[in-house]
Amino acid sequence: MSREHDLPEPPNRRLLLKGALAAGAFTAMPAGLAHAASSPAGPGAAAPYVNPLVRNRADPHIHRHRDGFYYFTATAPEYDRIILRRSRTLRGLSTASESVIWRKHATGVMGAHIWAP
């Protein structure tokens, strides 16, 4: 008699990558910052978030492609362009060169308030 039907499904690749990224980001933080992130900043105040890989980029997204590279997309602080970085390692994304893959249009619905996926 098999008990395979009683076993939960194994975690998929995306879930494992998200967990590894979160664990790596938390362990890479300086001790003071990790403590600040885990304790409340005070009544009505929120602790600022610092991206451990790339500073001054909003809406960060990381995807590991079948080609073995990690791709990082984000919005520039001026909200006028979306950038892309590519690296063989997650840590390498912090120093990888940036390419602008989209710029806001001069007018129209794609002329303002853009953000990376």
Predicted TM-score (pTM) of this structure: 0.54
Q: Give the model's pLDDT for residue 68.
A: 96
Pairing of strands 58-64, 70-75: antiparallel
Q: Which of 43, 42, 60, 44 is nearest to 52 (CA)?
A: 60
Q: What pLDDT is recorded for position 92?
A: 92
Q: What is the pLDDT of residue 51?
A: 63
**C-alpha angle 104/109/113, rounded to 5°?**
55
Quote the pLDDT of residue 54: 79
User: Listing from the earlier edge strand, what are the strands of the sheet with 81-87?
Assistant: 58-64, 70-75, 81-87, 99-103
Looking at residue 5, what DSSP letter applies? G
Calpha distance 15→21 (Å, rounded): 10
pLDDT in 10s for each residue of the chain, 117 residues:
445 555 556 666 666 666 666 666 655 556 555 555 555 556 677 877 666 777 778 888 899 999 999 999 998 888 888 999 999 999 899 999 999 998 888 888 888 777 666
